[in-house]
Structure 1
């Protein structure tokens, strides 16, 4: 069976790449580097792969740690590529746009690319050197991966970040980077997916999104960048801001409750009934946002982050309405745990497209 092997599978970009591969139904094998590297195991994992993607690297540390680490990882993978039988068809390197532009990090990334290309040439594999700019996305590590992760973390904790050095950033969402790495030999315009924004502009966008989301409101998601940025921010608010309490207004006529307030962009609302004991869901989304609101009945909403074991559960009821927003790349489901029929409303930020459903089966 076709498979893709990759290094750095538990890191930021590696996790996003595994999530993208899962959405395409492509099995993955992870390869350890550094002190955990074993040549025979690595060669066995790479053997016969349709694509081997080298993602693992050293982004932070002393000059020696960065210089030696990136070259060491490349040397390890080059040895595995040469030993693998059969060799991988394509070798992809998750390189940086800083490569070849001086500096310890850029020079070490450029040197690693040369090592991997030599190994790919030796075994007759296609080599793809993918230059990636500043990445952002769900579950980035603050104070390490990128300024976006740091801003999201601080804002979600109620702190106000400051801009130490304002400059223009070239930003690419990690799911777009994953698509480039997975489909590097196909027609994908990586430049068209990049966005240019200043550090201060990025902070303004995130602060504005957070101020709305603090009240359960959805910012304008008309642009792909704002959607991806908002999904990134939301990943830092879960589970602390889940569920979102809704206000019920009651009078002699009955009650009224506002479910969603969106400030722009597309959207689709739907409604379901579920009989006692039955479940809906068991899937995840890569990009779309989805909100569940139980209007009548009793339910448990369960969520699990891809490639993790911990399951978060929220018991919800129509008698005390709340909204539960599904984080991207988290499997989720809703189960009727009451004795009566369950009435649930669903909202997503985009109109469902059967050709691109962005709904991938995955059990919670």
Structure 2
């Protein structure tokens, strides 16, 4: 299956491309503003594609008219490019539940759905129109993608955002939205609502403030007993990375030696394990979709490298057992740990879930990005 994602470098586009890569072995063609600038350029980009996931959209602009017409123009450009292919293509549209409302964004998204539905039907393809609620997740843009992203960045920065008009908002994690888009490929699904979970706005803020008080200061893991809390925690961790790392716990010393905590968790299931690594050897070279994982260097000299999936820049930390320290691995970041000293490296690892050999949430990938 050859898949293209419009808006492929944006928030949902990146999450969808990551999920295709991780679980389906598919390297999506990620289309951005340059490809969406004209039907001719977009048509060339779709020449070898079977499926288009239309994620690109306009939800912020200088005027209401730009928001409404911007979504219509994107659909018109895609429709013209699809017609130029002269063959059936399947399209899945990341629409919004606001398409059911009479506001500029909703009208624009609804009009775009009508344009794409008619076009895909005319070329003999399948069209799925998925209405998504408010999305959140790792690496959302504050002030743009969702209030969750804004709250996370504000709280990490030490500020306290204000809640006005507190109410329940239906939230859907970006990976769950991506899963719905992928599952709809090749199906006709008109105006289907993808359900989220109602969450009180103030409860999101309260969760993040608790994370700042306990996690950002001493690395305490909150209770991850629900998928929503785990997803909020991963959102917070993405906003805090890499600035908060590494952390060093308080060391209690006496004539017997040193004592320090490696993991304090608020609840849920987890597992801890140790490793020794010979000089020059490394471990890891994988990433996780959801798993929370901690690397704690107890003895020796270590270098930890991390790279955000589908990006090139590498973040590097140097840790030493002379000052026991730890770094938590963000979701959707490739990571490894290497012994850069002359003696044995002793590392303690902790994960928030017991290892399931049939579904380990551990996807192999090297730090050096594949070309």
TM-score range, shorter chain: over 0.9
Cα contact 1:245–1:322 (8 A) shared by 2: yes
Whether the 8 Å CA contact 1:47–1:87 is kept in 2: the answer is no
Mean Cα deviation higher: 203-212 or 132-141? 203-212
Q: Superposition pairs for residues 255-274 of structure 1, below 5 Å? A: 255-274=258-277
CA distance in structure 1 between the aligned counterparts of 2:54 and 2:240, rounded to whole angstroms: 31
State the 1:195 CA deviation.
1.3
Return the offset for 1:103.
Answer: 0.5
Aligned positions, number: 360
Structure 2 equivalent of residue 200 of structure 1: 202
Superposition pairs of residues 138-177 of structure 1, within 5 angstroms: 138-177=138-177
Please point out which of 323, 338, 343 is paired with 1:340. 343
Counterparts in 2 of 1:201-280, with a 5 A limit? 201-214=203-216, 215-280=218-283
Q: Structure 1 stretches of 5 or more lacking a match? A: none
Moved over 6 A (4+): 190-193
User: TM-score, structure 2 length as denominator?
Assistant: 0.93
User: Structure 1 residues 222, 291: closer, same or farther in 2, change over 3 A?
Assistant: same
Match of 1:21 in 2: 20
Distance 1:46 1:22 in 2: 19
Question: Match of 1:65?
Answer: 66
CA displacement at 1:270 relative to structure 2:
1.5
The alignment's TM-score, normalised by the length of structure 1, stands at 0.94
Superposition map of 1:172-183 within 5 A:
172-183=172-183
Distance in 2 of aligned mates of 1:34 and 1:313:
32
Describe the shift of the 1:85–1:293 C-alpha distance in structure 2 as closer, same or farther (beyond 3 A). Answer: farther
1:35 deviates by 8.1
When residues 32 and 235 of structure 1 are mapped into structure 2, their CA distance, relative to the original with a 3 A threshold, is closer
Superposed, 1:24-103 pairs within 5 Å as 24=23, 25-33=25-33, 37-61=37-61, 62-88=63-89, 90-103=90-103
Q: Which moved more, 1:177-186 or 1:134-143?
A: 177-186
- SS in structure 1 at match of 2:305: strand
In structure 2, runs of 5+ residues without a counterpart are: none
Root-mean-square deviation over aligned CA pairs? 1.8
What's the CA shift string for 1:48-82, capped at 9, x where partnerless?
53421001110011112101100000000111111
